[in-house]
Amino acid sequence: MNGRGCRESLLCVFANRGLSMTQESANATAQEVAAFRERVLRKLTYSVGKDPENASDYDWFHAVALATRDSTIDRWMDCTREAYTGGQKRVYYLSLEFLIGRLLVDSLSNLGLFEVAREALAGLDVDIDRIRLLEPDAALGNGGLGRLAACFMESMATLGVVSHGYGIRYDHGLFRQAIVDGWQHEQTETWLDFGNPWEFERSEVKYLIGFGGSVTATTNEQGEVQHFWHWAEGVRAIAYDTPIVGWRGAGVNTLRLWRARPEADFHLARFNAGDHIGAAAEEARAESISRVLYPADSTEAGQELRLRQEYFFVAASLQDLLRRHLKQRGSLDSLPEYTSIQLNDTHPAIAVAELMRLLVDVHSYEWQHAWRLTTATLSYTNHTLLPEALETWPVGLMERLLPRHMQIIYLINAYHLDNLRERGIHDAELLRSVSLIEEDHGRRVRMGNLAFLGSHSTNGVSGLHTQLMRKTVFTDLHRLYPQRINSKTNGITFRRWLYQANPQLTQLLVEHLGEEVLDEPETRLRQLEPYAEQAAFRQRFAEQRLANKRHLANVIQERLGISVDPTALFDVHVKRIHEYKRQLLNLLHTVALYQAIRSDPGGNWVPRVKIFAGKAAASYHQAKLIIKLTNDIANTINADPTVRGLLKVVFLPNYNVSLAEDIIPAADLSEQISTAGLEASGTSNMKFALNGALTIGTLDGANVEMSEQIGLEHMFIFGLTAQEVNARKQGNEYNAEAIIAGSHRLSEVLSAIRGGGFSPGDPGRYVGLVDGISWHDTFMVCADFEAYWQAQLEVEERWRDPARWWRSSVLNTARTGWFSSDRTIREYAREIWKVM
Ligand SMILES: *Cc1c(COP(=O)(O)O)cnc(C)c1O
């Protein structure tokens, strides 16, 4: 498939905030506009069932979405046919999360139809900028990991990698965050309430998934033992397909999400016998599997539901892809030649046992043959080293829910340990550490080890993360299998995070570098470097930023009623709220700055707006307290007349992909200040740099590669390195109290917060929080405070010299091409999947 097929529709993805397209393309599309308008009207009439006179904006949105979807279908079918006839290897991306956001502008601009749609609708008196905002975000993910899956789907379609995403079609995505009196409240997310125009329900594509029951073994005539799993409970998985369009409509791939339904349609007999509730209970139990993303796991029932979700989507996906392979190839012997299955973190790791079960129990493969096929087909991406995030499941729960899988895991483990003993390895400590079963805290299955052993490739998501994986979680497995671990630094799709999110900057790039920059940003963005030296260009660059900042200022005004000065430095910290991401460190700087302004109100201060956004996990009390502290600090500072607006603090509620698209192009400074060694990669760091924000950050995750590409002098890198953090944790001499005592500034900040300076109505609110960082300081907040303060001073110094600031800003955009997810996918495709 080639991406050059649509020259006539080189239409201005970048024209969507009122920028005009060239006369040439305008002429070329008059017919297209008329045709698109006709399609929308037909959809409105025959699919939505409304006439234009009394259609609501929602009706129009649905009609446009359906017309857009139609435009993908022919290409989608071509791609599907080509994949069959061409016989290419297929890539399956298994992920419990896909954080997609909205699809309307994404699909239209990738199809080159955005401007066509705008004109077509204008002719109907409908404003596309109004109706595009009606689309709910598909928030089927928590944060970076789910967003990565969405970027990968788009890049695979762009590069013509024949691929399918597999996940769960949750009724309710990630909760909607409301802020009430400064506290986070979680509200049910309802993205499906008005229907989902992008998906096709495939009622005929359904599989039965078993749970529980028992296993029996019989010996057949050949003397082979065969196992039968008599599961007790069946749940049906129904497929819902969404076409994912690549850039310029190059490829269209399928995202197949599974919905859980009861095995039997309805217990009519039971219902008629008077058991109305009982008849509905089975349905409710089955459907609970695809009810919510990440059910609360504080209870045992919640944990079990999570495991049911994992097995459910893995089992459905494997049945589906084996069926496809058998239909095309006739035998599973060739599975690894034509199939790669990428496991996005350990959530789908049960695939190792399930694929073995299908091969051995169902398709009668001999164990070792099945194991070779399994490991050659599967590969695994690790996303975290945080011990609390490494999945393990109690053996008891596994035995009850998936008895046959537990047997298989034991057997894999036995072969694995035998094999090591044969290799002369008898060190009990080593054998214990590489075992699939953890014996220390009640017996649990280690899903990370299972995924590692069951795959031919285990990759980290940045250079540093991969290096730490080799040294920490997988140190012993790495010694035994030194070839297996490899690094694939994450990336982002520029279509969404530049062309769609920042049309002004995109147009500026096209003006100076030509349209080719849209097709080959990885190489062409570098050609921007000389422009960094030109004052006139820097001026234009600053102007597009200012326009985006005005837009964000309006959003802040509308949502919070706070007015901010668009010419102030926009200092942005948006991501999940987590102690390791250190929003707290930023808050300490905010308070220190506030105190400094108060003690010298006439000083030469750089006006700043501190912008925060992010959700805390519902059960993560400390993170929720940090949100409250942000709002307490914001209320105090924003209301203080001595500050005179020189410093403003805002917390924008309900951070999601759409809000990120508004915030990131408006950022001057990007906060990437995690405790070194704890952020596996980060991807918002890349989104900001691509849009020209300067990064203040630690040498963590992909910040390291960013500093190599961009140059340390165009970022503000500070703080302890991963090695230094580790040394402080190991040696016992790290003493936060001594650091606090040695820093007047830090002591003043902490005592103001601890003493209730920002919570006069509840002066004890932050005592525990402050004592925590004073005594343990697990995340090295105190240790890095002074270095962070100094780095922030450098930020101000650079900001006061616009020529230097904007030179760095332009160079950030020019040197971020390597972080395209197209580059990442090419690396996966060549080195892991072998499809390029
Ligand atoms: C990119 C993105 C993330 C990941 O952000 P990090 O700062 O890398 O953790 C999370 N949420 C949304 C909505 C995103 O777009």
Q: What digits encode the pLDDT tens for the residues 245-296?
A: 999 998 999 999 999 999 876 666 777 777 777 778 888 999 999 999 987 8
Q: What is the distance in A from the centroid of ligand 1 to the CA of 657?
A: 8
Q: Of these residues, 242, 683, 698, 813, which one is catalytic?
A: 683
Tell the residue number behind the tokens 């060190």, with chain if given: 427
CB contact set of 425 (below 8 Å; sequence gap of 6+): 431, 480
Q: What digits encode the pLDDT tens for the residues 449-462?
A: 999 999 999 999 99
Q: What digits encode the pLDDT tens for the residues 361-390?
A: 999 999 999 999 999 999 999 999 888 778
Q: Which residue has a Cα nearest atom 4 of ligand 1? A: 144
- 26 has pLDDT over 90: no
The bridge status of strand 608-613 relative to strand 569-574 is parallel
Question: Are the C-beta atoms of 586 and 632 separated by less than 8 Å?
Answer: no
Locate 591 and state its tokens.
Answer: 């308070």
- From 97, 102, 137, 147, give the residue whose CB has the most ligand 1 atoms within 8 Å, as the site to mutate: 147
- Averaged pLDDT for residues 591-602: 97
Q: What digits encode the pLDDT tens for the residues 124-133?
A: 999 999 999 9
Name the residue type at position 753: I
Name the residue type at position 775: W
Give the pLDDT confidence score for residue 41 in this predicted structure: 98
Q: Is the CB of 461 under 6 A from ligand 1?
A: no
**How many helices (H) does the chain have, and how many strands (E)?**
35, 24
Atom of ligand 1 nearest to the CA of 656: 13
- Averaged pLDDT for residues 120-139: 96
- Averaged pLDDT for residues 342-350: 98
- 3 has pLDDT over 60: no
Is 469 strand, coil or helix? Answer: helix
- 19 has pLDDT over 50: no
Q: What is the distance in A from the centroid of ligand 1 to the CA of 179?
A: 20
Q: Which residue has a Cα nearest atom 11 of ligand 1? A: 143
Question: Are the C-beta atoms of 342 and 91 separated by less than 8 Å?
Answer: yes
Is 223 strand, coil or helix? Answer: coil
First to last CA, the chain: 13
Q: What digits encode the pLDDT tens for the residues 73-90?
A: 988 999 999 988 988 999
Q: What digits encode the pLDDT tens for the residues 156-206?
A: 999 999 999 999 999 999 999 999 999 999 999 999 999 999 999 999 999
Q: Is the CB of 660 under 6 A from ligand 1?
A: yes
Q: Is the CB of 683 under 6 A from ligand 1?
A: yes
Whole-number average pLDDT of the chain: 94
Locate 327 and state its tokens.
Answer: 């239909």
Q: Is the CB of 465 under 6 A from ligand 1?
A: no
Q: Which residue has a Cα nearest atom 1 of ligand 1? A: 684
Q: Of these residues, 291, 576, 728, 804, which one is catalytic?
A: 576
219 strand-pairing partners: 225
Q: What is the distance in A from the centroid of ligand 1 to the CA of 233?
A: 38
Q: Which residue has a Cα nearest atom 8 of ligand 1? A: 682
Q: What is the distance in A from the centroid of ligand 1 to the CA of 470?
A: 25
Q: What is the distance in A from the centroid of ligand 1 to the CA of 774?
A: 29
Distance set, CA 378 to CA 13, 185, 373, 468, 597 (Å): 37, 39, 9, 22, 57
- Averaged pLDDT for residues 63-82: 93
How far apart CA 557 and CA 546 sit, in angstroms, is 16
The half-sphere exposure of 681 on its side-chain side, counting CA atoms within 13 A, is: 26
Give the pLDDT confidence score for residue 16 in this predicted structure: 37
Tell the residue number behind the tokens 């990738």, with chain if given: 110
How far apart CA 461 and CA 483 sit, in angstroms, is 17
Atom of ligand 1 nearest to the CA of 614: 11
Q: Is the CB of 173 under 6 A from ligand 1?
A: no
440 secondary structure, DSSP code: B
The closest alpha carbon to 699, from 720, 682, 713, belongs to 720
Q: What is the distance in A from the centroid of ligand 1 to the CA of 794?
A: 26
Percent of the chain with pLDDT over 90: 89
Percent of the chain with pLDDT over 70: 96
- From 145, 189, 656, 684, give the residue whose CB has the most ligand 1 atoms within 8 Å, as the site to mutate: 684
- From 574, 578, 655, 683, give the residue whose CB has the most ligand 1 atoms within 8 Å, as the site to mutate: 683
Q: Is the CB of 653 under 6 A from ligand 1?
A: no
581 secondary structure, DSSP code: G
- Asked about 683 being catalytic, the answer comes back as yes
Q: Is the CB of 656 under 6 A from ligand 1?
A: yes
Give the pLDDT confidence score for residue 23 in this predicted structure: 44
Question: Are the C-beta atoms of 155 and 147 separated by less than 8 Å?
Answer: no
Q: Is the CB of 147 under 6 A from ligand 1?
A: yes
- Averaged pLDDT for residues 527-539: 98
Least confident piece of the model among 13-17, 502-506, 688-692, 736-740: 13-17
- Asked about 729 being catalytic, the answer comes back as no
Q: What is the distance in A from the centroid of ligand 1 to the CA of 612?
A: 13
Q: Is the CB of 262 under 6 A from ligand 1?
A: no
Atom of ligand 1 nearest to the CA of 682: 8
Q: Of these residues, 164, 465, 578, 687, which one is catalytic?
A: 687
Give the pLDDT confidence score for residue 222 in this predicted structure: 87
- Asked about 576 being catalytic, the answer comes back as yes
Is 318 strand, coil or helix? Answer: helix
Strand boundaries in 36-122, DSSP class E: 90-94, 98-101
Give the pLDDT confidence score for residue 2 in this predicted structure: 38
- Asked about 628 being catalytic, the answer comes back as no
- Asked about 575 being catalytic, the answer comes back as yes
Atom of ligand 1 nearest to the CA of 492: 1
Locate 695 and state its tokens.
Answer: 């990064």
Q: Is the CB of 682 under 6 A from ligand 1?
A: yes
- Asked about 383 being catalytic, the answer comes back as yes
Q: What is the distance in A from the centroid of ligand 1 to the CA of 693?
A: 15
Q: Of these residues, 581, 624, 714, 798, which one is catalytic?
A: 581
293 secondary structure, DSSP code: S
Q: Of these residues, 347, 545, 575, 615, which one is catalytic?
A: 575
Tell the residue number behind the tokens 């999570």, with chain if given: 306
Q: Which residue has a Cα nearest atom 5 of ligand 1? A: 684
Q: What is the distance in A from the centroid of ligand 1 to the CA of 575?
A: 5
Q: What is the distance in A from the centroid of ligand 1 to the CA of 463?
A: 19
Tell the residue number behind the tokens 């073995």, with chain if given: 356
Q: Is the CB of 657 under 6 A from ligand 1?
A: yes
How far apart CA 836 and CA 828 sit, in angstroms, is 9
Q: Is the CB of 575 under 6 A from ligand 1?
A: yes
State the pLDDT confidence band at 4, using cuts at 50, 70 and 90: very low
Atom of ligand 1 nearest to the CA of 144: 4
How far apart CA 832 and CA 829 sit, in angstroms, is 6
Domain 494-719+793-815: which CATH number of 3.40.50.620, 3.30.460.80, 3.50.50.60, 3.40.50.2000 = 3.40.50.2000
Stated length of the chain: 836
CA angle (150, 151, 155) in 5-degree steps: 120
pTM for the whole structure:
0.96
Helix or strand (DSSP H, E) at 129: helix 128-131
Atom of ligand 1 nearest to the CA of 101: 13
State the pLDDT confidence band at 27, using cuts at 50, 70 and 90: low
Question: Are the C-beta atoms of 669 and 696 separated by less than 8 Å?
Answer: yes
How far apart CA 824 and CA 769 sit, in angstroms, is 39
Q: What digits encode the pLDDT tens for the residues 761-781?
A: 999 999 999 999 999 999 999
Give the pLDDT confidence score for residue 280 in this predicted structure: 81
145 CB neighbour count, 10 Å cutoff: 24
Q: Which residue has a Cα nearest atom 15 of ligand 1? A: 657
Q: What is the distance in A from the centroid of ligand 1 to the CA of 305?
A: 26
